[in-house]
Amino acid sequence: MAVAIEFGMGRAFGICGAGLARGERTGSRSLLPVPCPCFSLSVPAGIINFCANNYLGLSSHPEVIRAAVEALEKFGAGLSSVRFICGTQSIHKDLEEKIARFHQREDAILYASCFDANAGIFEALLTPEDAVLSDELNHASIIDGIRLCKANKYRYKHMDMQDLEAKLKEAQKHRLRLVATDGAFSMDGDIAPLREICQLAQKYDALVFIDECHATGFLGPNGRGTDELLGVMDKVTIINSTLGKALGGAAGGYTTGPKPLIDLLRQRSRPYLFSNSLPPAVVGCASKALDLLMESNAIAQSMAAKTQRFRSKMTAAGFTISGKDHPICPVMLGDARLASVMAEDMLNRGIYVIGFSYPVVPKGKARIRVQISAVHSDEDIDRCVEAFTEVGRKHGALS
């Protein structure tokens, strides 16, 4: 035990000593309830936030906030219960129905988070006779969810369709096959080749599961997600996603898909059965966010235009931006210390971004991940590009 603690402390010291520890900045009180992109931190005022998952700006949308307050006043602070005891209100059922309608699926089930939705699905659905095939760069919560299940596990190389096909052939001996992938990968801003995945799934009789945390609300012509963007809404069987990013940013997650699957999850999924139901204010936020998105895709289009502006200006300035067309715009720098000092210097210029390095991303692939929001103005985007250009020149990332 003592050795383990010492070893852990030694590792922690090594990380801090190398200047690579991930800190947690504290926002001023005013930023907490309204995380709009322009907020003041405990550092100088006028900082622009370029690292939130608030893709559509709905976490600071007045109608979303009003809906939360109304739900709080009408339904109370919380349920003090899991769903199946006394934790289900009409608003939970309404939200599940709305989520299913938004994704054009038969039914949906809410969780306290998408982490829980991912933790709860594989174990409930798959038996030791089945197989799950997972992209090697899937989100940690998918990896953990798969760890919890007893199915046979195959890991295919990131977005490598030859490798997936080889693994699908190998997995033919199992009763059922499930291919699991992020729709959009959060570290690289790249999008899974869902058309090809669905073709392979059809050929080898597999189901397809996607995690749409970085797609729901804004990818595709109507913001339905990666499956809509790539024209395979009728081929993807299961979607897990979050209410904690584009859909109001409060908290919560869900699974949507065929009704028998959702019925099974209500009976068997452990994070659903054994964790408190979502508080009314959170449900109110998400419900209003979905209403706004089903009324119009103007907000998503505005975010797409700003993403395009940022990506093209940064590329013209000489930076390499990973991914394509996604509001996650990783500015690739390679060196961990460079990413860390540049991020710090960006903050000195009023731009809040974070450097990512190993083990969050592979060694030698450090980056600053910029995330664009519909509420950034064109001037905000230009200010960010200018700051990157200055800081990049200063630290030798640009010649």
Out of 220, 244, 271, 355, the only residue in the binding site for ligand PLP (CB under 6 A) is 244
CB of 114: closest distance to ligand PLP in angstroms?
3
Nearer to ligand PLP, 60 or 242 (CB): 242
Q: By CB under 6 A, is residue 211 in contact with ligand PLP?
A: yes
Closest CA to 340 of 120, 73, 18: 18
Stretch 316-355: interaction string toward ligand PLP, x if CB under 6 A:
----------------------------------------
Out of 47, 99, 206, 213, the only residue in the binding site for ligand PLP (CB under 6 A) is 213
* Spatial separation of the C-alpha atoms in residues 231 and 107, rounded to whole Å: 20
CB of 219: closest distance to ligand PLP in angstroms?
13
CB of 142: closest distance to ligand PLP in angstroms?
7
Nearer to ligand PLP, 62 or 359 (CB): 359
* Spatial separation of the C-alpha atoms in residues 52 and 48, rounded to whole Å: 10
Nearer to ligand PLP, 180 or 321 (CB): 180
Q: By CB under 6 A, is residue 228 in contact with ligand PLP?
A: no
Q: Which of residues 35-64 bind ligand PLP (CB under 6 A)?
A: none
Out of 96, 107, 130, 182, the only residue in the binding site for ligand PLP (CB under 6 A) is 182
Out of 141, 275, 307, 389, the only residue in the binding site for ligand PLP (CB under 6 A) is 141
Q: By CB under 6 A, is residue 180 in contact with ligand PLP?
A: no
CB of 83: closest distance to ligand PLP in angstroms?
17
Distance of CA 7 to the CA centre of its chain: 32
Number of Cα atoms under 13 Å in the Cβ half of residue 17: 6
Q: By CB under 6 A, is residue 156 in contact with ligand PLP?
A: no
Out of 242, 256, 371, 389, the only residue in the binding site for ligand PLP (CB under 6 A) is 242
Q: List strands edge to edge, sheet with 152-156.
A: 107-111, 253-257, 238-242, 206-211, 177-182, 131-135, 152-156
* Spatial separation of the C-alpha atoms in residues 352 and 35, rounded to whole Å: 13
CB of 305: closest distance to ligand PLP in angstroms?
24
Q: Which residue is nearest to ligand PLP (CB)?
A: 113
Stretch 183-202: interaction string toward ligand PLP, x if CB under 6 A:
---x----------------
Q: Which of residues 251-280 bind ligand PLP (CB under 6 A)?
A: 253
Q: Which residues pair with 135 in a beta bridge?
A: 156
- Residues belonging to the active site: 186, 214, 245
CB of 134: closest distance to ligand PLP in angstroms?
13
Peptide bond into 359 cis (omega under 30): yes
Q: Which of residues 99-128 bind ligand PLP (CB under 6 A)?
A: 113-115, 118
Where on the chain is the footprint of ligand PLP (CB under 6 A)? 113-115, 118, 139, 141, 182, 186, 211, 213-214, 242, 244, 253
